Structure 1
Amino acid sequence: MRLSAPIYRLKQQARILARRNALPLHAALDRLAVDEGFRSWSHLATTASARSPAAVILSRLEPGDLILLGARPGHGKTLLGLELASCATQLGRKGFFFTLDYHAGEVAGLLSMLGINPAPEPDGTVVDTSDEVSADYIVSSLKRFEERVIVVVDYLQILDQKRTNPGLEDQIASLRRYVKAEEAICVVIAQIDRSFDLSGRPMPEMSDVRLPNPLDLSAFDKVCFLHNGRIQIDQAA
């Protein structure tokens, strides 16, 4: 059974329903769950989490993977990236989320939307919103930790926006060397070109990844595309 909207959006709808009808939040959640065809919200959440995009990706990750995660705006790629970083402990790893697109308050809001209450460091996911984020910065930051890691980078197209940073090709090569040497896992979020919206295809393809600067996408081991709550995972080459 497919949900009418991603689970975080259903939670938002439940909050609105609770306010409008003076309902306890748990009652509003249960009402929405019944509308979706489930017995209760806990039934929906348990079923959905088992087949969620994050669960699908986690089941396919391998040490040394460099993964591209692409979607159009509004389809949840940043939320999915945060969820992957927050679920790193499921694979016995430490999670990191590096972003050039959001400040700390916005990331906290996104985590709240996901229903995630991050544990404080050093045990919790590390969120870094520095303007200095680049491949060299990421690798240097990770060298301070001995644990195996899952790293999420948000996002590909602005890694080389600062002129003092190396080109995109060099940065992805640097990340690839790091994940192979350390058996890390790195997910790089990427924008999909708006021309995809007019293509009529159900899912993006490699040719739809927006590349303002040259980059050989075969540097990635796997590519994940997210669209309308569905996910497709392929080998890059």
Structure 2
Amino acid sequence: MRLSAPIFRLKRQARLLARADGVPLHVALDRVARGEGFRAWSHLAASASAAAAAAGDGGRALLAALAPGDLVLLGGRPGHGKTLMGLELAAAAGRAGRPAFFFTLEDDEALVRARLRALGAEPDGSPVIVDTSDAISAEHVIARLGGAGAGSGGGAVAVIDYLQLLDQRRSNPPLAEQVRALRAFAGATGAIVVALSQIDRTFATSGRRFPELGDVRLPNPVDLGLFTRACFLHDGEARFAGV
């Protein structure tokens, strides 16, 4: 079923509806989904993920391109597939028998699980560990990966949704410190850590085919050279860039 607008715009509609009607966000999301002809938001999201997955498993290709110890920036504008790519990557790692994690400060676990099921991950006992804790930070991620075994994180694949939210809590260290901690942990253990990233809206008027490192939205300074790889998504295509 074709959506009337990209998912990120439908989410925005739901947030506005929640504020206007004074209802919880999940109630507003379900209302928007029913307006699109779906039973609930989880049904809409799963359907969208299934359609995208049918076009190809980008997560498996991305996993094959990464090396132990990589700290990866995966950037894209809203609606261009960075969350889907992150989910595909986690699902591919889980199917390969690796400890796989998806950390999100953006969506609830039910929605993430629905999208993982659409990608072929097991609905129960999924090899992908979904963490939606409000306490997500570099320290939290490192603690979860270190507790997964496999050499205190070695072989693990973690996706963080998303980079700019890691320092939204004042109790967390500055984002630059967190990125340095993630780089050190990945390098020491062989884990692969992938941080989804927002891209500044000015890219839309740049005339370029893909975003670049200079387009990464950084509310606080971060040395992007700490990332070993960068991959940018736009209009259904992906491109690696040097860092």
* TM-score normalised by structure 1 residue count: 0.74
- Partner residue of 2:18? none
Is contact 1:225–1:233 with CA below 8 Å preserved after alignment? yes
- Partner of 1:87, secondary structure, is helix
- Partner residue of 2:64? 59
Q: Which amino acid aligns with 2:217?
A: R
Task: For 1:1-237, list aligned pairs within 5 A.
Answer: 45=54, 48-49=55-56, 52-89=57-94, 91-120=96-125, 124-147=127-150, 148-236=155-243
Could you report, residue by residue, the CA deviation over 1:108-150 in whole angstroms, capped at 9, with x for unpaired residues?
Answer: 23224435434505xx110000000000011111221112200
- Rounded to whole Å, the distance in 2 between the matches of 1:194 and 1:119 is 38
CA shift at 1:225, angstroms? Answer: 0.2
Could you report, residue by residue, the CA deviation over 1:28-65 in whole angstroms, capped at 9, with x for unpaired residues?
Answer: xxxxxxxxxxxxx9xx95xx53xx43233122110100
- Rounded to whole Å, the distance in 2 between the matches of 1:77 and 1:220 is 17
Q: Which amino acid aligns with 1:104?
A: E
Which has the higher mean CA deviation after the structures are superposed, 112-121 or 172-181?
112-121
CA shift at 1:166, angstroms? Answer: 0.2
Which has the higher mean CA deviation after the structures are superposed, 110-119 or 195-204?
110-119
Q: 1:106 to 1:89 in 2, by over 3 A?
A: closer
Higher CA-based Rg:
1
- Partner residue of 1:29? none
Cα RMSD between the aligned structures? 2.1
Count how many residue pairs are aligned between Structure 1 and Structure 2: 190
In percent, how many aligned pairs have the same letter? 47
Could you report, residue by residue, the CA deviation over 1:144-203 in whole angstroms, capped at 9, with x for unpaired residues?
Answer: 111220010110001000000000000001111110110100100000001111111110
- Rounded to whole Å, the distance in 2 between the matches of 1:109 and 1:125 is 12
CA shift at 1:228, angstroms? Answer: 0.7
Is contact 1:53–1:230 with CA below 8 Å preserved after alignment? no
- Rounded to whole Å, the distance in 1 between the matches of 2:130 and 2:176 is 24
Could you report, residue by residue, the CA deviation over 1:207-226 in whole angstroms, capped at 9, with x for unpaired residues?
Answer: 00000110010000000001
Which has the higher mean CA deviation after the structures are superposed, 164-173 or 226-235?
226-235
Q: Structure 2, unaligned stretches of length 5 or more?
A: 1-6, 8-36, 38-50
Q: Which amino acid aligns with 2:119?
A: L
* TM-score normalised by structure 2 residue count: 0.73
- Partner of 1:186, secondary structure, is strand
